């Protein structure tokens, strides 16, 4: 009799422990079930999603995992309702380890509104650090995405991104050319940095180009350069500049061409024939470069407010594979850049907040002049 009591006691303890251990699964599952049955959020076999636990994903996000046969699109449609259920903003809903796993990422902590640039953020090789994102550091890998496009409303932080990338390219001893037709000193520190090796009389010309004629000349020269490089790669039997430079031959220097407010050379109403020819030539050269320079280490980076088809030729745009897009209230504008509406979901008041690649990120802030860092806006 005693033995039975002891056994029953032990069983009760084990059952209690199991119950306690399962409680974190059972309680949310109950809420999910209630939600699923009332909103008919069920898979075709009539089952609600099965909760599989939560995990701190990083500083910003918590990941809830579900087992579910409900299609991902259906989850995405339910996002606003799910946010009410979880009492948290949802950053993203993604497919998990298998097709049947759905990961819901809840925002635990918002991204900072201001991250001053620091040279320790630099990346190795042909990679640029752009900012800090919900899913981790936002990095542009030029090798896999050869050319870039930064878009967004005026004052959103486009020039700042271009400047930060130019700064890194200069530190990597790349050859850098910046087309800046506004000439408001946006690149003055960057210009000073480059002067150290840029003005050595090696024929690269000045860092900043603000005259369309000079821009056209440089682009024409770059087309020749790109073709020459491609020829050399073919002879050497290599695919790109990295392989060529690793082969022990005299290395080619990567070349970054930044065009801030590119509409100023791509969307001009020419007043005479000479001007018409000039801008046609610029357009042609950019088009050719975008197409042929992918592997050659000549990288284009264009800034635009709204790169619609009448401003940016589709053929050029299709070759600008790396995309950064700031807030747009108009979904059509977001779609031009990202092929989705995500730029409309960015917080409009935050400067430097972009969809970078696939993820929302806060771009690093590198001021035009170092002395402006201290009085930078939003710093607290
Ligand atoms: N990454 C950033 N973080 C914080 N503030 C920024 C950032 N980028 C830009 N800003 C603020 O916004 C202003 C406009 O930035 P700018 O790069 O000139 O925008 P755009 O080129 O899109 O007009 C800057 O002077 C700065 O005050
Ligand atoms: Mg600007």
Same domain? For 66 and 187 the reply is no
Q: How many domains does the chain have?
A: 2
The structure tokens 């900043």 sit at 208
Domain membership of residue 248 (yes or no) is yes
Same domain? For 80 and 168 the reply is no
Determine if the pTM surpasses 0.75. Answer: yes
pLDDT of 262 above 50: yes
Q: Indicate which residue's Cα is closest to atom 7 of ligand 1.
A: 352
Structural domain for 136, as ranges? 119-372
Cα of 110 to ligand 1 centre, how many Å? 19
Same domain? For 293 and 368 the reply is yes
Cα of 206 to ligand 2 centre, how many Å? 20
Same domain? For 240 and 353 the reply is yes
Helix axes 188-198, 158-171, angle to 10 degrees: 20
- Of the listed ligands, the closest to the CA of 367 is 1
65-119 pLDDT, tens digit per residue, is 999 999 999 999 999 999 999 999 999 999 998 888 999 999 999 999 999 999 9
> 254-272 as b/e, with b when 16 or more CB fall inside 10 Å?
bbbbbbbbbbbbbbbeeee
Per-residue confidence band for 15, with pLDDT thresholds at 50, 70 and 90: confident
Q: What is the mean pLDDT of residues 349-372?
A: 94
Same domain? For 136 and 100 the reply is no
pLDDT of 261 above 80: yes
Domain membership of residue 18 (yes or no) is no
Can you tell me the distance from the alpha carbon of 52 to that of 62, in angstroms, rounded to the nearest whole number? Answer: 13
Same domain? For 54 and 90 the reply is yes
Can you tell me the distance from the alpha carbon of 27 to that of 285, in angstroms, rounded to the nearest whole number? Answer: 63
Listed residues 84, 109, 134: the one ending a domain: 109
Cα of 260 to ligand 2 centre, how many Å? 7
Same domain? For 86 and 136 the reply is no
Question: Ligand 1: which of 351, 364, 365, 370 to mutate, judged by most atoms within 8 Å of the beta carbon?
Answer: 351
pLDDT of 378 above 60: no
Identify the CATH number of the domain in which residue 66 sits: 3.30.70
146-163 pLDDT, tens digit per residue, is 999 999 999 999 999 999
Q: For residue 106, which of 51, 72, 63 has the smallest C-alpha distance? A: 63
Domain membership of residue 257 (yes or no) is yes
- Of the listed ligands, the closest to the CA of 180 is 2
Per-residue confidence band for 366, with pLDDT thresholds at 50, 70 and 90: very high
Which atom of ligand 1 is least distant from the CA of 163? 17
Same domain? For 148 and 264 the reply is yes
Question: Ligand 1: which of 115, 155, 165, 303 to mutate, judged by most atoms within 8 Å of the beta carbon?
Answer: 155
Using CB distances shorter than 6 Å, the residues near ligand 1 are 114, 152, 154-160, 351-352, 363, 365, 377-378
Cα of 302 to ligand 2 centre, how many Å? 11
Q: What is the mean pLDDT of residues 288-295?
A: 94
Least confident of 26-35, 215-224, 239-248, 341-350: 26-35
Contact indicator for 304, 249 with CB cutoff of 8 Å: no
């Amino acid at each position: 009799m005693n033995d039975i009591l002891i056994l029953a006691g032990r069983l009760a303890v084990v059952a209690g422990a199991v119950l306690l251990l399962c409680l974190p699964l059972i309680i949310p599952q109950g809420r999910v079930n209630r939600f699923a049955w009332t909103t008919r959020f069920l898979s075709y076999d009539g089952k609600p999603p099965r909760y599989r636990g939560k995990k701190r994903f990083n500083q910003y996000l918590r990941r809830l995992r579900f087992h579910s046969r409900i299609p991902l699109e259906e989850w995405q449609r339910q996002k606003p309702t799910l946010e009410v259920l979880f009492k948290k903003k949802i950053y993203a809903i993604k497919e998990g380890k298998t097709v049947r796993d759905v990961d819901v990422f809840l925002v635990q902590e918002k991204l900072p509104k201001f991250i001053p640039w620091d040279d320790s953020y630099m990346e190795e090789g042909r990679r640029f650090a752009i900012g800090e994102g919900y899913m981790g550091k936002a990095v542009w890998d030029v090798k896999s995405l050869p050319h870039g496009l930064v878009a967004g409303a005026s004052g959103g932080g486009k020039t700042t991104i271009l400047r930060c990338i130019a700064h890194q390219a200069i530190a990597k001893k790349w050859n850098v050319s910046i087309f800046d037709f506004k000439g408001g000193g946006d690149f003055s520190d960057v210009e000073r940095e480059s002067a150290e090796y840029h003005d050595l009389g090696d024929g690269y010309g000045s860092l900043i180009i603000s005259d369309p004629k000079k821009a056209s000349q440089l682009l024409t020269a770059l087309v020749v350069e790109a073709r020459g490089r491609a020829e050399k790669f073919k002879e050497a039997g290599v695919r790109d500049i990295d392989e060529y430079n690793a082969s022990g031959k005299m290395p080619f220097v990567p070349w970054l061409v930044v065009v801030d407010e590119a509409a100023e050379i791509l969307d001009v109403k020419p007043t005479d024939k000479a001007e018409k020819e000039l801008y046609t030539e610029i357009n042609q050269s950019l088009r050719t470069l975008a197409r042929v320079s992918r592997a050659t280490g000549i990288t284009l980076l264009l800034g635009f407010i709204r790169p619609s088809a009448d401003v940016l030729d589709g053929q050029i745009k299709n070759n600008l594979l790396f995309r950064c897009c700031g807030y747009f209230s108009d979904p059509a504008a977001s779609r031009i850049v990202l092929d989705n509406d995500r730029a409309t979901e960015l917080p409009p008041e935050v400067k430097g907040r972009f969809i970078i690649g696939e993820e929302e990120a806060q771009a690093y802030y590198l001021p035009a002049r170092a002395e402006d860092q201290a009085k930078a806006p939003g710093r607290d």
